[in-house]
Chain A
Amino acid sequence: MIRVENLVKRFGEFTAVDKISFEVAKGEIFAFLGPNGAGKTTTIKMLTTLLRPTSGTLEVDGLDPVGNSNEVRKRFGIVFQDPSLDVDMTAYENMEIHGIFYHVPRKLRLERIEYLLGLFELWDRRDEQVKVFSGGMKRRLEIARGLLHTPKILFLDEPTLGLDPQTRNQLWTHVKHLNQSEGVTVFLTTHYMDEADRVAQRIAIIDHGKIVAQGSPHELKQQTGKDSLEEAFLALTGSTIRDEASNSADQMRQMAKMWGNRR
Chain B
Amino acid sequence: MSAIYALWLRELRRYVRSRTQIVASLGQPILYLVALGFGLGPVFQKAGQGNYVQFVAPGIISMTILFSSVFSGMGLLWDRQFGFLKETLVAPVPRIHVMLGKTLGAATVAVIQGLLVAAVCFVAGFRVADIRAIPAALLFMCLIGCLFSALGTAIGSTLQNIQGFQLVMNFLVMPIFFLSGALYPLNNLPKALSLVTRLDPLAYGVDGLRTTLIGISHFGLAADLAVLTMVTIILLFIGSYLFSKIEV
Q: SS class of chain B's interface: helix, strand, loop or mixed?
A: helix
Q: Mark A216-257, 1 if CB is under 8 A from B, else 0.
A: 000000000000000000000000000000001101110110
Given A76-B90, A86-B84, A262-B78, 7 other A-B residues pairs in contact with their CB atoms under 8 A:
A49-B90, A86-B87, A100-B3, A100-B6, A101-B88, A101-B92, A253-B82
User: Does chain A have a CB within 8 A of B14?
Assistant: yes
Asked if B166 lies at the interface with its beta carbon under 8 angstroms from chain A, I say no
A and B contact pairs by CB, cutoff 8 A, 19 listed? A50-B247, A51-B247, A73-B92, A80-B86, A80-B87, A82-B83, A84-B83, A85-B82, A86-B87, A88-B14, A88-B18, A89-B13, A97-B10, A103-B92, A248-B161, A249-B80, A252-B162, A255-B161, A256-B81
Q: Do residues A78 and B90 form an inter-chain contact, with CB atoms below 8 A? A: yes
Known A-B contacts A97-B6, A102-B91; A80 and B161 likewise in contact (beta carbons under 8 Å) = no
Does A98 reach chain B (CB closer than 8 Å)? yes
Task: Give the chain B neighbours of A263 by CB distance below 8 A.
Answer: 78, 82
By a beta-carbon cutoff of 8 Å, the part of chain B in contact with chain A is: 2-3, 6-7, 10, 13-14, 17-18, 77-94, 160-162, 247-248
Inside 8 A of B17's CB, which chain A residues have their CB? 88, 129
Partner of B92 from the list A52, A74, A85, A89 (CB cut-off 8 Å) is: A74
| Contact partners of B86 in chain A: CB under 8 A | 50, 80, 84
Which A residues lie at the B interface, using CB under 8 A?
45, 48-52, 70, 73-74, 76, 78, 80, 82-89, 93, 96-98, 100-103, 129, 248-249, 251-253, 255-256, 262-263
Q: Are B84 and A101 in contact (CB under 8 A)?
A: no
> A248 and B160: CB pair below 8 A?
yes
- How many residue pairs at the A-B interface have CB separations less than 8 Å? 93
Interface centre among B14, B79, B87, B247, by most chain A C-beta atoms within 10 angstroms, is B87
| Cβ–Cβ < 8 Å partners of B248 in chain A | 45, 50-51, 249
Min CB gap B23→A, angstroms? 15
**Most-contacted residue by chain B among A129, A248, A255 (CB, 10 A):** A248
Residues of A near B92 (CB, < 8 A) are 70, 73-74, 101-103
* CA gap between A222 and B191 in the complex, in Å: 83
- Cα distance, A74 to B90, chains bound together (Å): 9
Q: How far is the CB of A138 from chain B (nearest CB, A)?
A: 10
In the complex, what's the smallest C-beta–C-beta distance from B165 to chain A, in angstroms?
Answer: 10
Closest to B7 in A: A97
CB within 8 Å for A93 and B91 given contacts A80-B83, A101-B3, A252-B162: no
> Nearest chain B CB to A107's CB is how many angstroms away?
15
Partner of B13, one of A48, A93, A251: A93
CA A257 to CA B83, docked complex, whole Å: 15
A52-B247, A80-B86, A101-B6 known; A89 and B161 CB under 8 Å? no
Contacts of A129 in B (CB 8 A): 17
User: B10 CB to closest chain A CB, in angstroms?
Assistant: 6
Say yes or no: A86 contacts B81, CB within 8 Å: no
Determine whether the beta carbon of A89 is less than 8 Å from that of B14.
Answer: yes
- Knowing A50-B89, A100-B6, say if A84 contacts B162 (CB, 8 Å): no
Q: How far is the CA of A76 from the CA of B89 in the complex (A)?
A: 13
Contact of A249 with B83 at beta-carbon distance under 8 Å, contacts A51-B247, A89-B13, A263-B78 already known: yes
- Distance between A98 CB and nearest chain B CB, rounded to angstroms: 7
Tell me the smallest distance from the CB of A73 to a CB of chain B, in Å.
4
> Which residues of chain A are near B85, meaning CB under 8 Å?
84
- In Å, the complex CA distance between A263 and B247 comes to 24
Closest to B85 in A: A84
Contacts of B13 in A (CB 8 A): 88-89, 93
Give the CA-CA distance A51 to B90 in the complex, in Å: 11
Chain A residues positioned under 8 Å from B81 (CB to CB): 249, 252-253, 256
Nearest CB of chain A from residue B102's CB, rounded to whole Å: 12
Q: Which of B6, B14, B161 contacts A252 (CB 8 A)?
A: B161
Q: Which B residues are in CB contact (< 8 Å) with A52?
A: 247
Closest CB in chain B relative to A17 CB, distance in Å: 14
Contacts of A97 in B (CB 8 A): 6-7, 10
Q: Please, which residues of chain B bring their CB within 8 A of the CB of A83? A: 82-83
Closest Cβ of chain B: how far from A88's Cβ, in Å? 5
Does B10 contact A86, Cβ atoms closer than 8 Å? yes
CA distance A160 to B7 in the complex (A): 29
A262 to B72, CA, bound (A): 13
Which residues of B are found within 8 Å of A252, using beta-carbon distances? 77, 80-81, 161-162
Tell me the complex Cα distance, A197–B81, Å: 34
Distance between Cα atoms of A84 and B85 in the complex (Å): 7
The chain A residue sitting closest to B86, CB to CB, is A84
Shortest Cβ gap from A143 to chain B (Å): 13
